[in-house]
Amino acid sequence: MSRSVSSLPRRSFLKLLGAGGLMLSMPTLASDMPLLYSQGDALMSDGVLQITPSGEIVFLMPRAEMGQGTNTGLTMLIAEELDTPPEMITVLHAGVGEEYKNPLFGMQMTGGSTSIMAHFEPLRKTAATAREMILQAASEQLNMDPGSLSIRDGKLWFAEKSYGLGDFVTRASQLQPPENVVLKANGNLRFIGKKQKRIDALAKVTGKARFGIDVGSPSGDTVINASDQNIPNLKRAALLRCPVIGGTVKSVNADAVKNLEGVQQVVPIFNGVAVVAEHYWQAKKALAELQVEWDLPELAKHSSADIRKTFEAALSEEGQTAFEQGDSKAAIASANKKHSADYHVPYLAHATMEPMNCTVWLQDDVADIWVPTQGPDASQSVASEYCDVPRDNIRVHSTFLGGGFGRRVNQDYVAEAVAIAHASGLPIQLVWSREDDMRNDFYRPAASARMSAAINDAGKIDAWDVTRVGPNITGYTIDEMAGMFLPEFLPGGFVDWISKRGHGVFENWTVDHSSIEGLWEEYSIANKTVRQVTVDPGLRLGFWRSVGHSFSGFFKEGFFDELAIVAEEDPLAYRLSHCDDMPRLAAVLKKAAEMSNWQDREKLAVKGRFLGIAGVFSFNSYVAQVAEVSVEAGQIKVHKVYCAADCGRVINPDGVAAQLEGGIIFGLSAALSGSITLKDGAVEQGNFHDYPVVRMPEAPEIDLHIMPSTQAPTGAGEPGVPPIAPAVANAVFAATGQRLRELPLRLA
């Protein structure tokens, strides 16, 4: 097993450029390709907001919509400053452009629960600028005081008389944008903070919403979303990959496949053998007839049992220091009361509802790609690496995503689809089966942690010492994304060499924050040390919903509960006594306890119900949860979850509630049943029968409270995940006296 530490800053800051049509801050295209987006006579370039001559307000959505409500939340920001209901605004998915970059990442990535956080002010300023320019143009054309004019409900108003916004676009486009604009005062907000129905809900429930897997039709021709084009002669492809991720084709015999009905071509690519056919099922069935011999990677030498033993042995190693305050070792050594425990979590898959898919049409020096992706610019870059088309000549058509959770940050399915299209010379749609998806993920890492602490004579925690063992996430991201950041003229071999440095170049330099985040930030403790020991069997990793917090929250909040018992204190009161530096965390803990009637939990226990509490600070948000649990015949049943969350200012309360509730269910699936295991390097799970998720009859009732706040918006999509596993584990301890330190939770 390799041992390396890697690090890459997860966030870089970039000033967001706005655009309107009337275009605001509109740059030129990098090439003279036809524009992707057209609204009548008004063409949209790389801007995010356009008001057309017909008066239509067009918002080009800079973030991916994967069910988290981005379309609605971000459109509400535009709507607020134009005083126009969100449903009156036309929303299109953006392709690739500088203006669509996430200001917190410096790239066009949707993730990290940053969509509202990153765009809260920039999008409002973009819309406010458009508003002021229209008002100025109207005042000149109508010879009226601009103060007597207003924009409301998609029109310009003077007293009770209305005009179409398009009447003033030509003049407004000639004006110099104002350097400063005044955003609407909090007391005048019409949409922000108010419940808003999903603007894309009707399209989704009626089947009109276009997901990546919807591109194409049985006849092979389709009208493409946001384009007048068809894809003639579109074929379907399925790919046989090595059972062990990273393996390559040694030899292939396709004699039994080539004459099967519908089969067009058999195409070996960099990581497997594809069958291209008229229909998907023809291609899928043909894979079973291929005879392929594989060159296996180093990962084939490992199975889950030996990986676990290696992790456990490494817990005694010193590792690299990730955080240090005071001297935890000395404090523990001299303490009269101390406690230590080892925790473990398995690898996890993303298991999105829509499997990976990508449609590719290569035409000479131009390429079109239809893809459900969390990073269109990454899709464009990776596509360029696998065909002979320059990046600027690759048009990425973003679609709705049937779930992301971090999985669609990675671009392996794009690389495969482009490689198949390039080798076959045909326009193709690659669709993964559920088994493909489960066994070829970029997984949440397995990890172990040794948690140690000292309690002083006053009963407070005096020292906190953690050793985390496991692989690092970010090295795999560097490996995949290196080509995106390097110039196109560099030789492919050099790019590949550079990409592999992500696993080793930072060795002994720094620690991958994504892999150890959440292990020290919350509680007020004088002496803290967190170390990382990197042990990597070679199973590729990716960002999984809530990233490092997904396991750090379990380690930290489970162990903190143990310390409360050692100190003979109430778990809630003990947490609150260590929240000196985090009043907002204390507030959500108190609220969740109040909602669950925590103080009277002994009365609930008489009925066979028990409570466990946990609080986690992640993605700049504070979330506390209390789980109400029963245990019968060794089976854990979660009846109810009480959740209090402080996500700063809330744009759409319904959207935040949906994300927190979804995060709880997502995290509960992992807590109760989620586990990816390896045998000889191959993932054993293949579908939801052996990688189960919480079903409707199993889902607990959720009582949610969103704390009112005037603070800047923070994350909502991921912070609901980390507290649920420890809250359930702590409730199980209350019920049985058995401390569960491993996920998924199983009673002995």
What dihedral do alpha carbons 66, 71, 74, 76 form, nearest 10°? Answer: -140
> What is the predicted pLDDT for the residue at 507?
52
**Does the pLDDT of residue 37 top 60, yes or no?**
no
355-372 burial code (b ≥16 CB/10 A, e <16): bbbbbbbbeeeebbbbbb
The tokens describing 467, both together, are 């050793």
For 238, 239, 294, the CA distances from 255, given in Å and listed in that order, are 17, 17, 18
3-state secondary structure of 560: helix
Residues paired with residue 359 on neighbouring β-strands, in sequence order: 370, 429
Amino acid 492: pLDDT: 55
Cα 565 from Cα 567, distance rounded (Å):
5
Q: What was the pLDDT predicted at 4?
A: 29
State yes or no: pLDDT of 100 exceeds 90: yes
Question: Read out DSSP for 638-649?
Answer: EEEEEEEEE-SS
Q: How far apart are the first and last CA of the chain?
A: 31
Strand partners, 395: 368
Tokens 């995949």, residue located: 480
Question: Does residue 224 surpass a pLDDT of 90?
Answer: no
**pLDDT class of 479 with cuts at 50, 70, 90:** confident
pLDDT at 497: 45
What does the pLDDT read at residue 170? 87
Which pLDDT score, from 0 to 100, does residue 51 have? 92
Show the tokens assigned to 658: 């949906």
Structure confidence at residue 27 as a pLDDT band (50, 70, 90): very low
- Residues of the chain with pLDDT > 70: what percent? 88
Per-residue pLDDT for 39 more than 80? no
| Cα–Cα distance list, 413 to 212, 239, 357, 685, 700 (Å) | 12, 10, 6, 20, 35
Whole-number pLDDT of residue 23: 41
Q: What is the pLDDT of residue 47?
A: 75
Alpha helices, DSSP H only, in 520-582? 549-566, 571-576
Q: Cα(333)–Cα(354) distance, rounded to whole angstroms?
A: 52
pLDDT level of residue 487 (50, 70, 90 thresholds): low
**pLDDT: is 47 or 682 the higher one?**
682
Q: In whole angstroms, give the CA distance from residue 428 to residue 490.
A: 28
Strand duo 635-646 + 701-706: pairing: parallel
Other C-beta atoms within 10 Å of 439: how many? 21
pLDDT score for 743:
98
Residue 221 has pLDDT above 90, yes or no: no
DSSP readout, 682-704? EE---STTTS----GGGPPEEEE
Taking the mean position of all CA atoms in its chain, how far away is CA 179? 34
Q: What is the pLDDT of residues 187-208, one digit of tens each?
A: 999 999 999 999 999 999 999 9
Query: Which is more confident, 99 or 350?
Result: 350
Residue 478 binned pLDDT confidence (cut-offs 50, 70, 90)? confident
Q: pLDDT category, 388, cuts 50, 70, 90?
A: confident
Mean pLDDT of 591-606: 97
pLDDT at residue number 175: 87
Q: Is the pLDDT assigned to residue 225 strictly greater than 80? A: no
Which residue type does 487 have?
P
Task: Name the region of 25 (left: φ>0; alpha: ψ -120 to 50; beta: rest).
Answer: left
**Which domains are present in the chain?**
37-205 (3.30.365.10), 212-241+248-295+356-431 (3.30.365.10), 304-348+445-473+512-736 (3.30.365.10)
pLDDT at residue 227 greater than cutoff 90: no
Write 10-14 long-range contacts (CB < 8 A, 24+).
10/105, 10/112, 10/474, 10/513, 10/514, 11/104, 11/105, 11/106, 11/112, 12/104, 12/105, 12/106, 13/103, 13/104, 13/106, 14/101, 14/103, 14/105, 14/106
In contact, 631 and 637? CB cutoff 8 Å: yes
Tokens of 344: 């473990």
Q: Which two tokens stand for residue 28?
A: 């030129």
Of the listed ranges 210-219, 426-435, 480-489, the one predicted with least confidence: 480-489
What is the per-residue pLDDT for 10? 30
- The mean pLDDT value for 494-499 works out to 49
**Cα angle 691, 695, 700; round to 5:** 120
What is the rounded (10 degree) CA torsion for 653, 655, 657, 659?
-150
Percent of the chain at pLDDT > 90 equals: 83
Cβ–Cβ < 8 Å for 662, 654: no
pLDDT band at 216 (very low <50, low <70, confident <90, very high): confident
CB within 8 Å of 111: residues ≥ 6 apart: 105, 374, 404, 406, 409, 543
Check residue 21 and give its pLDDT. Answer: 33
Nearest Cα neighbor of 216 from 344, 364, 328, 368 is 368
CA distance 247 to 728: 39
pLDDT at 529: 98
Report residue 439 as tokens: 């066994």
* Per-residue confidence (pLDDT) for residue 30, from 0 to 100: 27
Cβ count within 10 A of residue 581: 12
Helix or strand run (H / E) with residue 307: helix 304-314
Sign of the Cα torsion 178, 184, 186, 191 reads negative
- 481 pLDDT band (50/70/90 cuts)? confident
| Phi-psi label, residue 634: left if phi above 0, alpha if psi -120 to 50, beta otherwise | left
**Mean predicted confidence (pLDDT) in 549-569:** 98
3 state SS of 238: strand
* Distance separating alpha carbons of residues 27 and 698, to the nearest angstrom: 52
Of 456 and 5, more confident: 456
CA distance 379 to 132: 36
Q: Is the pLDDT of residue 629 over 60?
A: yes
Which residue is it, tokens 């990976």? 356
Cβ-contact 723, 624 below 8 angstroms: yes
Q: Where are the alpha helices (DSSP H) in 441-532?
A: 474-485, 492-500, 513-516
Residue 610's nearest CA partner among 663, 653, 571, 579 is 571
Question: How crowded is the C-beta side of 240, counted as CA atoms within 13 Å?
Answer: 25
The one-letter amino acid code at 120 reads: F
Is it the case that residue 2 has pLDDT exceeding 90? Answer: no
Q: Residue 458 pLDDT more than 70? A: yes
Mean pLDDT score, 405-432? 97
**Residue 174: per-residue pLDDT:** 85
Cβ–Cβ contacts within 10 Å for residue 2, how many?
Answer: 14
- C-alpha distance from residue 460 to each of 464, 596, 713 (Å): 11, 26, 33
Mean pLDDT of the chain: 90
Averaged pLDDT for residues 285-308: 98
Q: How far apart are CA 569 and CA 575, in angstroms?
A: 10
Long-range contacts of 87-90 (CB under 8 A, 24+ apart): 87/197, 87/199, 88/57, 88/153, 88/154, 89/57, 89/58, 89/59, 89/199, 90/39, 90/56, 90/57, 90/58, 90/59
Q: Which residue has the tokens 């380690």?
A: 555
Residue, of 98 and 465, whose pLDDT is higher: 465
